Amino acid sequence: MTSNKTFSFHNGVSIPPIGFGTWQIPNNEAYEAVTMALKNGYTHIDTALAYQNEENVGKAIKDFDLAREEVFITSKLPAERKGYQETLDAFHETITNLGVDFLDLYLIHAPWPWSDIGKDCTEGNIASWKAMEKLYRDGKIRAIGVSNFETKDIQSLLDNCDIVPMANQIPFYIGRDQKELLSFCQEHGIVVEAYSPLATGELLDSPELKAMADKYDKTPAQVAIRYCLEKDTLPLPKSSHEQRIIENSQMDFEISLADLNILDEMKDVRS
């Protein structure tokens, strides 16, 4: 894996600069996909209880010839499960599925249930966060964070809890750079992870991106992932194809400021 970027949380824990995402990879395909990623140099694997693939993600990691401490594992509290005990129970379910004793990063998957996006779950999120603080202090998790949280959602944790989130995993890609949220997170020392850095593949047909990729003699996916790194976000590309898995980690180039400005002007392909 080649990348000149480094990321560390505000507690000093470092995290590999490109993660292998497993969203939408079924459990019966997860073992092979994660094994391919590990074989090709990925040491940062991202999953979630909601993905229903933790069992085979964990099995692939266990079967691969790397010490547990050499693989950074992220999982997430399901978006609809809010509350102190609910969080402790979900965490136990996750580490049982994965077959591990601790997680490197645990996130609240979303501030509201996916079935009721925008619902005010402030009290539930605070209770969940306090449970995650306990798990962190007990050494069960090396870093804790959130996902899909807007500024107001993070602020409620800052106002009511002890530990500032260490990460916020959000949709981030060319055309959706979330400048204000990114700035807020950076001001508070929160690492922003970029999920769907290829806009679930929809970016790859962009004529502008293809032209930029030709200029750098790279694939459109490589330029899109490098863009996230240039914006100081940590990309989580996903693929089940080995050649793409390899290409997605080859970030031994930089995008010029002039070309970044061009990419900044691109419209959101998903809007």
How far, rounded to the nearest angstrom, does the alpha carbon of residue 215 sit from its chain's CA centroid? Answer: 28
User: What would the two tokens of residue 239 be?
Assistant: 């693929």
Q: Distance between CA 82 and CA 120 in Å, rounded? A: 12
Question: Other CB atoms closer than 10 Å to residue 203's CB: what's the count?
Answer: 26
Write the single-letter amino acid at 221. Answer: A
Note if 84 is an active site residue: no
Two tokens, residue 267: 């419209």
Distance CA 169, CA 231 (A): 14
For residue 103, give the 3-state DSSP assignment.
strand
Q: What is the DSSP letter of 268?
A: P
Looking at 40-143, list the stretches that DSSP marks H as alpha helix, in order from N- to C-terminal side.
Answer: 54-63, 84-98, 122-137
Between the alpha carbon of residue 193 and those of residues 17, 112, 137, the distances in Å are 9, 19, 23
Residue type, 236: L
Cα→Cα distances 45→40, 98, 199, 245, 247, Å: 13, 12, 19, 13, 17
Q: Which of 31, 51, 106, 173 is catalytic?
A: 51
Catalytic positions: 51
